[in-house]
């Protein structure tokens, strides 16, 4: 087996040192009746080239080369190549959780920078509040792509003395949409920042809060400190919240989290930075605005009065699954039919455009929808004529 660094002679030598006659001696603690005396029924040992080919085939069966208008919590944005170049370094890829600070400063400083950038993006959560018991939870942009009036909702929530929790699923929106600075807690998905959709995971969930709640927050936190010579360094901190110290009294039970994904997000944020994030967001805004306008010539675009970022809902006359089925023949994945989640929405579907969505793709998709409307209309007219005739 090519991952194993021992020759048969090494194994024999080790057995001899241990004083075992054969490897079976070492498995003697397992009661005989349970020992597996056959091969596991798993695929046979494959060459690297075979493994790559097997997964290539799966990749081809999985929408490789399709152009997609899906968003709804997983977004396809361009990923600068330096992200993979850097996270592929073994020192990041193959390290454990940074418990031993002296030999984990790379990971720890990166987490500290990540924490800083997320706070900058969300801005100082501005209000000081006293602990309260209930909360209001909203998402903005919401599932239909519409930006909520967080300030107004916050005002109501806080008047009623409840905490406001805001969730953000499309991180790129933060480049051009006001952050929910009135929130007490922000729950955010940062996948949009350089993390591939990867059929739904791994992603990078984030919780941000006011400083006063930090001791109630779950998860790993990196904090700045000094070493015995007074040099700046970083450690995992506030461990008294955690399971390895407090066991059943722990308020944080997160051991392995999403560190490498957070590093992708970190590098993405660093690459686009203060100006690029805004320009990127603006392109998303422009693409979605153009698409909504083009669709609007043929079908109703819902929630017309509310501002939106890169997603919008259209209502077609025909079942969106049928239209999408035809589009798929042209290598386009149409918007997400909403009836799966909201039966009352009938034929509505949720469309997403990012900076990667081309005008040609938009025009083609609009063409399919326009064609669908035309044929439904002419079918109706025909049946009216028939009745009249």
Ligand X SMILES: Cc1ncc(COP(=O)(O)O)c(C=O)c1O
Among 135, 156, 245, 384, binds other proteins (CB under 8 A): 245
Q: Which helix (H) or strand (E) holds 144?
A: none
3-state secondary structure 341-369: CCHHHCCEEEEECCCCCCHHHHHHHHHHH
User: Which of residues 21, 228, 343, 387 is near other proteins by CB under 8 A?
Assistant: 228
- What lies within 8 Å, CB to CB, of 365 at 6+ separation is 69, 291, 327, 332, 334, 351
Residue 25 vs 382, nearer CB to other proteins: 25
User: Which is nearest to 275 in space by CA: 178, 179, 176?
Assistant: 176
- Residues in a beta bridge with 300: 315
Can residue 147 be called a binding residue for other proteins (CB under 8 A)?
yes
CB 254 to ligand X: min, Å:
7
Per DSSP, 145 falls in state S
- Around Cβ 332, how many Cβ atoms within 10 Å? 18
**Interface contacts to ligand X, rule CB under 6 A:** 255-256
Place of tokens 């001899």: 16
Out of other proteins, ligand X, none, which partner does residue 377 contact, by CB within 5 to 8 A per kind?
Answer: none
| Interacting residue with other proteins among 172, 299, 348, 362 (CB under 8 A) | 362
Q: Of residues 60-99, which lie at the interface with other proteins (CB under 8 A)?
A: 60-66, 68, 70, 72-74, 76, 80, 82, 84-99
For tokens 């020192």, name the residue: 91
* Distance (Å, whole) CA 161 – CA 135: 9
- Interface region with other proteins, contact rule CB under 8 A, candidates 131-139, 159-167, 262-270, 374-382: 262-270
User: Residue 298's binding partner, choosing from ligand X, other proteins, none, with beta-carbon cut-off 5 to 8 A by kind?
Assistant: none
What letter does residue 79 receive in the DSSP assignment?
-
235, 301, 313, 365: which one binds other proteins (CB under 8 A):
235
> Which of these segments, 129-137, 224-232, 310-318, 372-380, binds other proteins (CB under 8 A)?
224-232
Token reading at 80:
């600068």
CB 203 within 8 A of CB 195: yes
Q: State in angstroms the smallest separation of the CB of 218 from ligand X.
A: 12
Residue 324 C-beta: closest distance to other proteins, Å? 7
Of 26, 156, 322, 379, the residue at the interface with other proteins (CB under 8 A) is: 26
Residue 328: contacted member of other proteins, ligand X, none (CB under 5 to 8 Å, by partner type): other proteins
d(CA 234, CA 112): 8
Q: Which does 142 bind (CB under 5 to 8 A by kind): ligand X, other proteins, none?
A: none
Please, what sign has the CA dihedral across residues 289, 304, 189, 151?
positive
Question: For the window 311-350, what string marks contact with other proteins as x by the rule CB under 8 A?
Answer: -------------xx--x----x--x--------------
Residue with tokens 């997603």: 311
Among 159-167, 276-284, 296-304, 372-380, the segment contacting other proteins (CB under 8 A): 276-284
Q: Which stretch, 32-40, 153-161, 296-304, 380-388, contacts other proteins (CB under 8 A)?
A: 32-40
Q: Are 141 and 273 in contact (CB under 8 A)?
A: no
H-type alpha helices, 317-358: 320-329
């Amino acid at each position: 087996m090519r991952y194993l660094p021992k020759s048969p002679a090494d194994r024999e030598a080790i057995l001899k040192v241990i004083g075992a006659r054969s490897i079976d001696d070492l498995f003697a603690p397992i009661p005989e009746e349970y020992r597996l005396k056959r091969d596991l029924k798993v695929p046979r040992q494959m060459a690297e080239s075979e493994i790559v080919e097997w997964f290539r085939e799966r990749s081809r069966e999985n929408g490789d080369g399709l152009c997609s208008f899906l968003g709804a919590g997983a977004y396809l944005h361009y990923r600068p190549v330096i992200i993979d170049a850097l996270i592929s370094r073994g020192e990041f890829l193959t390290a454990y959780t940074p418990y031993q600070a002296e030999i984990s400063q790379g990971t720890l400083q990166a987490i500290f920078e990540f924490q800083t950038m997320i706070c900058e993006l969300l801005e100082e959560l501005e209000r000081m509040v006293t602990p309260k018991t209930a909360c209001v939870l909203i998402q903005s942009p919401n599932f239909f792509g519409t930006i909520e009036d967080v300030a107004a909702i916050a005002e109501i929530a806080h008047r009623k003395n409840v905490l406001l929790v805001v969730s953000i699923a499309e991180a790129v929106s933060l480049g051009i949409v006001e952050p929910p600075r009135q929130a007490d807690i922000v729950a955010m998905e940062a996948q949009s920042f350089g993390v591939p959709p990867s059929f739904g995971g791994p992603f990078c969930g984030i919780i941000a809060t006011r400083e006063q709640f930090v001791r109630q927050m779950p998860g790993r936190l990196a904090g700045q400190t000094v070493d015995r010579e007074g040099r700046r360094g970083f450690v995992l901190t506030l461990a008294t919240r955690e399971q390895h110290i407090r066991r059943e009294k722990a308020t944080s039970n997160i051991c392995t989290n999403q560190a490498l994904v957070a590093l992708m997000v970190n590098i993405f944020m660093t690459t686009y930075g203060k100006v690029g994030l805004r320009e990127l967001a603006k392109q998303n805004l422009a693409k979605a605005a153009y698409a909504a306008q083009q669709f609007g010539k043929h079908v109703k675009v819902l929630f017309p009065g509310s501002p939106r970022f890169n997603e919008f809902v259209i209502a077609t006359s025909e079942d969106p699954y049928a239209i999408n089925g035809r589009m798929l023949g042209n290598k386009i994945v149409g918007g997400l039919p909403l009836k799966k989640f909201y039966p009352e929405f009938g034929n509505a579907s949720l469309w997403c455009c990012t900076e990667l969505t081309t005008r040609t793709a938009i025009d083609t998709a609009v063409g399919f929808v326009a064609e669908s409307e035309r044929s439904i209309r002419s079918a109706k007219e025909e049946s009216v004529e028939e009745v009249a005739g």
